[in-house]
């Protein structure tokens, strides 16, 4: 015959059960498009300082995150670099109804860490005085698709195929250029713009007429009060101002 649990053992068991549950509930996992890395790290830090809730950020390409979510990845929220994937998740019933919203509109630049290398009109692309041009994979990353649209609009997409190196996401693409493995590349403006700091190197801020606007949307993937609070914080005027400071526009 089993001995009955002592009062002390029972209390400890209850504390452990509810304590572990509380720790898990206070922590959320958020999948984020690589271009938004620095700004959301800043946001998450501010959110944690004010609420005590931990935000674990997982960065990658929008296409790869979408595939992971469809296959059951345990994310609480998803910050994509496009509209299409969040829209699909909403239609498929994976994202919570009514949670989808635009958090930023991205800008593309042609950038090199070398001073006076990229001209303000992007003529270097036609001059082809470079060995490698980095872009994100157009099939996985909206910024890569935008880069392809820009090169197609300038009618040099086919001609530059031998010079193009593709990063899995815009974060890897940026590293190709920053490390010097590619002399220049199409990156997110937010990757080179830092509040209060001058932009290093040289760049061409590409006219919006050359590519489809990169409207970036977020969705809630689980009914979670902490995740809802974090998304509400992203929508706040404080966060919107921060997003602008990092080189995005907001709607």
> Domain holding 181: CATH number?
3.40.190.10
- Domain contains 91: yes
Tell me the C-alpha distance between 126 and 179, whole Å. 23
pLDDT of amino acid 129:
86
pLDDT of amino acid 164:
98
Examine the domain organization and report whether 221 and 100 are in the same domain: yes
Within 8 A by CB and 6+ apart from 24, the residues are: none
Examine the domain organization and report whether 12 and 89 are in the same domain: yes
Of 234, 232, 224, which Cα lies nearest the Cα of 27?
Answer: 224
pLDDT of amino acid 75:
98
Examine the domain organization and report whether 34 and 93 are in the same domain: yes
**What residues make up the domain containing 143?**
106-210
Examine the domain organization and report whether 100 and 112 are in the same domain: no
Within 8 A by CB and 6+ apart from 161, the residues are: none
- Domain contains 1: no
pLDDT of amino acid 194:
84
Examine the domain organization and report whether 204 and 132 are in the same domain: yes
- Domain contains 43: yes
Examine the domain organization and report whether 181 and 89 are in the same domain: no
pLDDT of amino acid 196:
83
Residue where the block lists tokens 């937010």: 190
- Domain contains 239: yes
- Domain contains 135: yes
- Domain contains 56: yes
Examine the domain organization and report whether 97 and 171 are in the same domain: no
Examine the domain organization and report whether 49 and 133 are in the same domain: no
Examine the domain organization and report whether 52 and 169 are in the same domain: no
pLDDT of amino acid 2:
46
Examine the domain organization and report whether 157 and 133 are in the same domain: yes
Mean pLDDT of residues grouped by 10 in the chain (251 residues)? 44 39 68 95 97 97 96 97 97 96 97 96 93 96 96 97 95 96 96 89 96 96 96 97 94 87
Tell me the C-alpha distance between 148 and 136, whole Å. 9
Examine the domain organization and report whether 89 and 150 are in the same domain: no
Examine the domain organization and report whether 223 and 238 are in the same domain: yes
pLDDT of amino acid 235:
98
Indicate the number of domains in the chain. 2
pLDDT of amino acid 248:
95
In angstroms, the first-to-last Cα distance of the chain is 68
């Amino acid at each position: 015959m089993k001995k009955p649990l002592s009062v002390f053992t029972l209390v400890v068991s209850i504390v452990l059960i509810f304590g572990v549950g509380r720790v898990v509930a206070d922590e959320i996992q958020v999948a984020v498009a690589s271009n938004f890395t620095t700004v959301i790290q800043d946001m998450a830090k501010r959110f944690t300082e004010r609420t005590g809730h931990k935000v674990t950020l997982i960065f990658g390409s929008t296409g790869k995150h979408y595939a992971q979510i469809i296959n059951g990845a345990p994310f609480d929220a998803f910050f994509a670099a496009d509209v299409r994937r969040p829209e699909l998740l909403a239609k498929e019933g994976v994202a919570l109804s009514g949670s989808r919203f635009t958090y930023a509109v991205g800008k593309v630049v042609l950038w090199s860490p070398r001073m006076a290398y990229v001209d303000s009109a992007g003529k270097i692309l036609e001059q082809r005085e470079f060995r490698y041009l980095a872009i994100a994979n157009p099939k996985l990353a909206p910024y890569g698709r935008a880069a392809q649209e820009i090169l197609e609009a300038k009618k040099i997409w086919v001609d530059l195929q031998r010079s193009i190196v593709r990063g899995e996401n815009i974060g890897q693409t940026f590293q190709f250029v920053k490390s010097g493995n590619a002399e220049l590349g199409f990156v997110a403006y937010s990757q080179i713009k830092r509040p209060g700091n001058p932009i290093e190197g040289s760049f061409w801020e590409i006219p919006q007429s050359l590519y489809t606007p990169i409207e970036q949307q977020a969705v809630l993937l689980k009914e979670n009060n902490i995740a809802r609070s974090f998304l509400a914080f992203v929508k706040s005027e404080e966060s919107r101002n921060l997003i602008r400071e990092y080189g995005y526009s907001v709607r």
